[in-house]
A and B are shown apart, each in its own frame.
Chain A
Amino acid sequence: MITLVKRRGSYYFLAVTLATLYLYSQSANITTSVFSIAVTFAMPLALAAMVGIMCERTGIVNIGIEGTLLLSSFVAFYVAIAAKSILIGFVAAMATGVAMSLLLALMSVTWKMDQIIAGTILNILATGLTSFFYIQGNMLPSMFKQKPIPGLSNLPFFGDVLFKHGLLMYLGFVVIITLYYGLFHTPWGLRTRSVGEHPSSADTAGVSVSRMRYVNVAVAGAIGGLCGSYLVLELVGSWNRGFTAGKGFTALALMIFGRWNPMGALAAAMFFGLAQAGANQLMINGTVNIPPQFVGILPYVMTIIVLAISAGKVRPPAAEGQPYEKGQS
């Protein structure tokens, strides 16, 4: 079963690679720019999916990612303006993400609340706070600028696509790769996964289930803060109501599609980013003439399709959503 999915994944990869090679041979410039834009679309989704992976691998369902992104991007924006420093804005956004996560952990680990309700509370909280405090007509003092990485950025194709971005994008890649190795090759990852799959096994092996859950959910919040910061301080540069536009929910779909694996979710996010960047390019070229609203719908339609395809074929961490009671096995 798993090998089958893996094989299917490599078919996708092969198909995308071949298509890319073909397009590149047709028009190197446009292909490169589409991919480069795709990466900027994909990164926030991928990071948001990392938030989900961190939480669910440890057994906590987090449907409050959207709220975490919304509030942390909001804080990033206004703190950066107030402090006249995007760096301070970034730090404040991370702190906001952690705070939101700790609230989730408090509700779901300590109070053993229903985790769907806990996540919904985060979303409502974020929507309420940001709508209430939103003031129009502010400008960021600056943004995280493109910093090409010396040497690597001169590579053909990959240089432009991967190595000509801002600091937060690079940080994002570091986070995803670290998370991948962390989850599957370190003691921390083994313990995290055991807590998410079968918490009493972890407990009887001397691993504290609630501590693992608290720490991981908090780190997930920090990643959410990074994601919010990236959106507002590096990608867009302004903030308006409903700024995150459902990315936190799309991320949940990508997490599932990527089978709770950071690399899988990154690939899924890249696929999404490409589809959107490609559609944008087609519109700019005038190859197709469809109202932009339809292009705007694309991510959501794809979410539905992706979930329909992967539904029933994936296996979530067994203990997700269940509060752990010590001594009950």
Chain B
Amino acid sequence: MSALLEITGVSKQYPGVLANDNISLSVSAGEVVALLGENGAGKSTLLKAVFGLVKPDSGEIKIGGEPIIFGDTAGIISRGVGMVHQHFQLVPVMTVAENIILGDEPKSGLFINMKAARAEIIALSTRYGLEVDPDAVIEDLPVGMQQRVEILKALRKDVKLLILDEPTAVLTPQEIDELLSVVRNLAKSGVGIVLITHKLHEVMAVADRVVVLRGGKLIGTTSPKETDEAGLAQMMVGRSVVLQVNRTEAKRGGVVLEVKGMQVRDDRKILSVKGVDLALHKGEILGIAGVEGNGQREFVEAICGMRHREAGEVIINGVATKNMDPHGAHEAGISHIPEDREKHGLVSSYSIADNLILNQFDQEPFAKGWIRNLAEISKNAIAMVAKFDIRTPSPSNTASSLSGGNKQKVVVARELSEDLPVLIAAQPTRGVDVGSIEFIHNQLLSARDRGAAVLLVSAELDEILSLSDRIAVMSGGKIVAIVDSKGADRNYIGRLMAGLDK
């Protein structure tokens, strides 16, 4: 049996980065190949090239023995290639059905046959056990559901090769298990699968073969039988990585941040935080576990002054605060690593140096009165880039030139540079590679050890379990339980997250 996908000697040069350097790879039917690599290792570029979205400078890509043509995405799809993109390729204002049929619509005469489309989608979703409502509008759906739509979209044409680009980044543990079993079943039915992920245990669980990229080069091929998670991490990063966080006992102090009876509305004006009480102590990490969309985002935004609170109090160091703007929250002593770094964490078109001082640009030594002190800004940037291991040719490059993990390091570096009493970290390691995760985790712990009160919000239960001193579980806009992380039961917390136990 010949290979479904054959990549031979593909190279792609971007300004300043060699994203792919002479990569060769093949995938056969029924095989799950995991593609591992740090952020910026060139995985996404390679797969976009397979999909005809990126034109390689050299090399050849064959699907089913036939070379592909750049730009002919429709042709590539018709040859049985499906891709689940890391950033969902769904039109938010359209329905599930419209999104799935886009590009190859069932017709009756000139018009779209919506009835046929619905029937097809329902058949498709029963076949793969991925239930969706064809008439739901994408933007109203939780991310897990959107992901499902994205997968169904890819599976619609009898796929022979399915590419999954970080499909589990935004899913709950249960959803991940479901997805992995779908992947296994597909492979059993003869579909070749390429899986990109940062999560090593997923790789260990489903992959037949693991291909590791680093700095655009193919470093090696292995299989879960031959290695373990630590071995994979080492191949990826090029050094040994401590996967288990080394957490010492917290030296808990007095209450720094207290929230009482907080109620917040979401973007659609629906009450999504329904009365939350929480006390955050000096020198502890309080983790908020929960399935996304249960009010965590609105809760954090309300504390950080990005969202108006309907009711309730936020008390910082004993002082009750009014509804604030983000600047006021910062003045009050809150530093914030926002969930969406692209939107709220960085000004992509600004330099890395400027992004590193966004929170203090008007303060000494970065400004004197109305004048910015460029020498200090650049000195600070050089120091930060070194200290936080931000990989860039120069701090004067724009933030948009960085890979996801390095962008996140910029945000973390900036927010930790001031040493404020409260640190709120929302999804601090989302879409970040193992090397950077280890680094960011250690930074959060050392902030705690310096005496900061740290509120960690994460959809990754493992992250919460390994970092937090106490764990609050949020479900349906309320804190349903607060448990000590020592001896916390993963399954119990999972059930609370799903809203099963009360």
Task: Pick the residue among B54, B78, B153 that contacts A327 (CB under 8 A).
Answer: B54
B91 interface residue, CB < 8 Å from A?
yes
Chain B binder among A156-164, A201-209, A298-306:
A201-209
Chain B binder among A29-37, A94-102, A188-196:
A188-196
Bound: A108/B103 CA distance, A: 24
Most A Cβ at <10 Å: residue of B83, B91, B98, B153: B91
B343 interface residue, CB < 8 Å from A?
no
Q: Are A202 and B103 in contact (CB under 8 A)?
A: yes
**Given A186-B110, A186-B111, A190-B112: A198 in contact with B92 (beta carbons within 8 A):** yes
Q: Are B102 and A191 in contact (CB under 8 A)?
A: yes
Q: Are A206 and B105 in contact (CB under 8 A)?
A: no
Bound: A208/B75 CA distance, A: 12
Q: Are B53 and A327 in contact (CB under 8 A)?
A: yes
Least distance between B227 CB and chain A CB atoms (Å) = 32
Q: Are A327 and B48 in contact (CB under 8 A)?
A: yes
Q: Mark B98-110, 1 if CB is under 8 A from A, else 0.
A: 1101111101001
Task: Pick the residue among B71, B92, B102 that contacts A202 (CB under 8 A).
Answer: B102
Task: Pick the residue among B48, B71, B107 that contacts A187 (CB under 8 A).
Answer: B107
Task: Pick the residue among B77, B98, B107 that contacts A206 (CB under 8 A).
Answer: B77
Q: Which residues of B contact A289 (CB under 8 A)?
A: none
Bound: A204/B73 CA distance, A: 7
Q: Are A190 and B89 in contact (CB under 8 A)?
A: no
Q: Are A201 and B99 in contact (CB under 8 A)?
A: yes
**Given A186-B111, A190-B98, A203-B73: A198 in contact with B90 (beta carbons within 8 A):** yes
Bound: A203/B54 CA distance, A: 12
Bound: A193/B101 CA distance, A: 13
Least distance between B404 CB and chain A CB atoms (Å) = 13
Q: Mark B63-102, 1 if CB is under 8 A from A, else 0.
A: 0000000010111111000010111011111100011011
Task: Pick the residue among B83, B92, B99, B103 that contacts A207 (CB under 8 A).
Answer: B103
A329 interface residue, CB < 8 Å from B?
yes
Q: Are B102 and A190 in contact (CB under 8 A)?
A: yes
Least distance between B385 CB and chain A CB atoms (Å) = 25
Bound: A315/B137 CA distance, A: 15
Task: Pick the residue among A185, A200, A204, A326 that contacts B111 (CB under 8 A).
Answer: A185
Least distance between B103 CB and chain A CB atoms (Å) = 3
Q: Are B110 and A197 in contact (CB under 8 A)?
A: no
Q: Which residues of B contact A186 (CB under 8 A)?
A: 110-112
Least distance between B170 CB and chain A CB atoms (Å) = 15
Bound: A197/B102 CA distance, A: 13
Bound: A200/B48 CA distance, A: 12
A318 interface residue, CB < 8 Å from B?
yes
Q: Which residues of A contact B92 (CB under 8 A)?
A: 197-198, 318
B366 interface residue, CB < 8 Å from A?
no
B299 interface residue, CB < 8 Å from A?
no
Q: Which residues of A contact B51 (CB under 8 A)?
A: 204
**Given A187-B107, A204-B73, A329-B87: A194 in contact with B94 (beta carbons within 8 A):** yes
Bound: A186/B101 CA distance, A: 12
A181 interface residue, CB < 8 Å from B?
yes
Q: Which residues of B contact A327 (CB under 8 A)?
A: 48, 53-54
Least distance between B50 CB and chain A CB atoms (Å) = 12
Q: Are A329 and B111 in contact (CB under 8 A)?
A: no
Task: List the B residue with the shortest CB-CB distance to A181.
Answer: B111
Task: Pick the residue among A181, A201, A208 that contacts B102 (CB under 8 A).
Answer: A201
Q: Which residues of B contact A193 (CB under 8 A)?
A: 91, 94
Task: List the B residue with the shortest CB-CB distance to A198.
Answer: B91
Least distance between A151 CB and chain B CB atoms (Å) = 27
Least distance between B79 CB and chain A CB atoms (Å) = 11
A residues 24-49 touching B (CB-CB < 8 Å): none
Q: Are B89 and A204 in contact (CB under 8 A)?
A: yes
Least distance between A298 CB and chain B CB atoms (Å) = 34
Q: Which residues of B contact A202 (CB under 8 A)?
A: 91, 102-103
Q: Are A200 and B89 in contact (CB under 8 A)?
A: yes
Q: Which residues of B contact A206 (CB under 8 A)?
A: 73-78, 103-104
Q: Mark A308-329, 1 if CB is under 8 A from B, else 0.
A: 0000000100100000001101
Least distance between A204 CB and chain B CB atoms (Å) = 4
Task: List the B residue with the shortest CB-CB distance to A200.
Answer: B89
Least distance between B57 CB and chain A CB atoms (Å) = 13
Q: Which residues of A contact B104 (CB under 8 A)?
A: 205-206
Q: Which residues of A contact B153 (CB under 8 A)?
A: 205
Bound: A198/B101 CA distance, A: 15
Task: List the A residue with the shortest CB-CB distance to B153.
Answer: A205
Least distance between B92 CB and chain A CB atoms (Å) = 7
Most B Cβ at <10 Å: residue of A191, A318, A327: A327
Q: Which residues of A contact B110 (CB under 8 A)?
A: 186
Q: Which residues of A contact B87 (CB under 8 A)?
A: 200, 329
Q: Are A197 and B89 in contact (CB under 8 A)?
A: no
Q: Are B105 and A187 in contact (CB under 8 A)?
A: yes
Bound: A203/B103 CA distance, A: 9
Q: Mark A199-221, 1 if CB is under 8 A from B, else 0.
A: 01111111110000000000000
Q: Which residues of A contact B77 (CB under 8 A)?
A: 205-206
Most B Cβ at <10 Å: residue of A181, A191, A201, A326: A201
Least distance between B114 CB and chain A CB atoms (Å) = 8
Task: Pick the residue among A185, A203, A315 that contacts B112 (CB under 8 A).
Answer: A185
Q: Which residues of A contact B83 (CB under 8 A)?
A: 204
Known: A187-B105, A190-B102, A190-B112. 17 other contacts (CB 8 A): A185-B112, A190-B98, A190-B105, A194-B91, A194-B94, A197-B91, A197-B94, A198-B91, A200-B89, A201-B90, A204-B53, A205-B104, A206-B73, A206-B74, A315-B93, A326-B54, A329-B86
The 5 A-B pairs with the shortest beta carbon distances in the complex, nearest first, are A206-B74, A205-B103, A187-B105, A201-B89, A204-B89
Enumerate 12 A-B pairs (CB-CB under 8 Å) in ascending A order. A185-B111, A186-B112, A197-B92, A198-B89, A198-B90, A198-B92, A201-B89, A204-B53, A205-B104, A206-B78, A315-B93, A329-B86
By a beta-carbon cutoff of 8 Å, the part of chain A in contact with chain B is: 181, 185-187, 190-191, 193-194, 197-198, 200-208, 315, 318, 326-327, 329
